[in-house]
Amino acid sequence: MRYWLLLSILLTTFSQALWADVTRATPLLPSIQGQQLVVDGQVTLGMTPTMEKALLHGIAVEYSIQVTLIDPEQWFWQNTLASKKMRVRLSYDPLKQTYLLSNLTLSRLNTDRDLSRALTTLGSIQSFPLIAIEKLQANKAYALQLEVRLERESLPNALRLSSLLDSEWRVNLSGHQQPWTYQP
């Protein structure tokens, strides 16, 4: 398989969305807090056995969680009204046998001994400020888009190429959209 990488790399690079994702997400819950549109939600970050093995071997895994507000009436290249990204990192301490949970965007650090709980904690979206409501039109239909991406550049150099080609490293969530109408 290794020798076919040259031929398959283009397909694998540009066809990520065709593969089944293991990352799951509950619907986003938008709300107005003060003069801001904020969203809450819960993402269960994907973790395949290979990734878990890498984690236990001391390799940190980083995810980016991006929430985007879209105006569906615009062309796709100019329909983004607001976009916010949160970057999180998960690593493992073999001595303490504890997972370290880092929210790089909010500069928060937690520990947890349970992996699934750690993934849920990292994927928690709480009061995520998106856009000032003054920029929104009342009773207009918008769309909220959630994207979760494994940040490959944070992986060790030797692992980057393999992660591009190995389906065990495909945990991205894309195309997760839900309509939302701004009602003041």
What CA–CA distance (Å, rounded) separates 179 from 173?
A: 17
What CA–CA distance (Å, rounded) separates 16 from 170?
A: 7
161 binds another protein (CB under 8 A): yes
Contact 65, 150 (CB under 8 A): no
179 binds another protein (CB under 8 A): no
Tell me how many degrees the CA angle 115-118-121 measures, rounded to the nearest 5: 155
Among 66, 98, 124, 174, binds another protein (CB under 8 A): 98
110 binds another protein (CB under 8 A): yes
Task: List binders of another protein among 138-157 (CB under 8 A).
Answer: 153, 156-157
What CA–CA distance (Å, rounded) separates 28 from 31?
A: 10
Output the DSSP codes for 25-41.
EPPPEEEEETTEEEEEE
95 binds another protein (CB under 8 A): yes
Binding string, 4-23, against another protein, x = CB under 8 A?
Answer: -xx--xx--x----------
Among 2, 34, 75, 138, binds another protein (CB under 8 A): 2
Among 22, 40, 42, 59, binds another protein (CB under 8 A): 59
Among 111, 137, 167, 181, binds another protein (CB under 8 A): 111
Nearer to another protein, 5 or 32 (CB): 5
Output the DSSP codes for 6-22.
HHHHHHHHH-GGGSPP-
- Closest listed residue to residue 125, CA positions, set 41, 48, 68: 41
Site residues (vs another protein, CB under 8 A): 2-3, 5-6, 9-10, 13, 53-54, 56-59, 93-96, 98, 100, 107-111, 153, 156-164
